[in-house]
Amino acid sequence: PSLAGEISRKLDANTFIQGGIKTAGKAVRINAQLLDASNEEIFKTFQVEGSSEEDIFLLTDSLSALVRNYMEIRVLESNIEYDLRSGYGTSSAEAFRYYMNGLNAFFAGNHGDAVQQFKRSIAIDSGFFAAYNWLLEAYEISGFLGQDYSQIEHAKQLLDILLGWDLNQLSHMEQLTFGMIKAKYIDKNPQNYIRQCRLMLEFDPQQRIIWYNLGNAYRELGQHDKAIEAYEKSIEISKQWGIQGGWVRSYQHLADAYHNAGEHKKEAEVLEEGLVHFPGHPDLNRNHAKCAFSRGDSARGLDYFAAYKSATMERDFWSEAEVDRRRSHMYANLAYFDQAEELWRYTIEREPQSDYHKRCFAEFLILNDVNIDEGLELVNGILEDSPDYYDILFFKGLALYKKGQLEDALKILNIAWDKRLTYRHDHYLAIQEVKAALARQNL
């Protein structure tokens, strides 16, 4: 080892390999160790065995592949942040490369591409747990953003695979991740999900994505101060690591939490910081427009929305109606109901084939008691073609409740809840409200 270490240092090599061949009768064992050239300490050992010396070439090829894959993964991992590494959940460099591609696509917002990359990773190594976890995340967010029920069904099928996993095969970190998956997708229990996040952070407090997920859980429950604290911690860790940009959703959701807490000055500051790292990002400009309107500065709000409109139409090739639908949402959230209704009707008039435009308009009509009957008519029309559309089922149940049809409302709300992939707080509260109303009615 000392001679090998000296030669390695002269060659500017960080690692050298040594090993040997042992025989016992017909059995053959080949081992290899990777040593740090600077101190000659062993940091990884490999071993293969065969039943005959005739296997020697197959054994050396196998050992070579193990060493090569390990070293390639070490190099690949150096290009991604610490909390996104797999913890050597795979011995295949090719599977790990697709995993990295999936992560890059996911954080860039290309969720469809992320799905394909994670699926390729799993096809190469069906035991790569981290790839399953991120594929589930990609299915969830692509299904939610596109209101694509097929993506949710794919996620549910993936959950069936994960639930059959032998936990003894998982590392401690992976077992904690499994607990989070179960709390979020199977139990739909936000309190337990928060506990699982906390357990993960006790084990490793430098997990930026877990802090972000914790912020999402608190935001869903309306606990805005705790959400702000978690999002800020996620961004703080990124800065400590010198990752100034981080992830645009961290800034976007922190701004949302400040908005919901009524702290619009801090909301604007977060968005300005986000735009420094993500210049011209449309989602940040849309949030900025909402913030400006909330502060009574409609002129600036329109300027930010114009920047949002330009970016989405040029970058994502959105139609003007698609952009206006989001402006309608913003007006509705700000209680500008007349402007929202007028713009939604104009949007549907331009793209009458879009069920999603109708879905959003129905939500507005029902939630805000603008025109429940018209909203219910729109909902029923969509359900004729998409009977499993869980959000539409939720709005139908809510409309029936507001019309006093309590038993039918509760039945449909429960069906929608079962079809939903994750917890949604307003859906849960609606079910509890209908149950209470039925209990009072039956007294």
DSSP string of 130-165, one letter each residue: HHHHHHHHHHHHHHHHTT-HHHHHHHHHHHHHHHT-
The answer to whether residue 166 scores a pLDDT higher than 60 is yes
Mean pLDDT computed over 87-93: 79
Q: CA 7, CA 322: separation in Å to the nearest integer? A: 64
Mean pLDDT computed over 168-184: 92
365-407 confidence digits (pLDDT tens): 999 999 999 999 999 999 999 898 899 999 999 999 999 999 9
pTM: 0.86
3-22 confidence digits (pLDDT tens): 777 787 788 888 888 888 88
Q: CA 188, CA 134: separation in Å to the nearest integer? A: 18
Q: CA 228, CA 90: separation in Å to the nearest integer? A: 35
Three-state DSSP at 263 gives coil
Quote the pLDDT of residue 241.
Answer: 84
The answer to whether residue 254 scores a pLDDT higher than 70 is yes
The CA-CA-CA angle for residues 372, 378, 379, to 5°, reads: 85
Mean pLDDT computed over 315-325: 87
Residue 24 confidence class, pLDDT cut points 50, 70, 90 = confident
Quote the pLDDT of residue 1.
Answer: 67
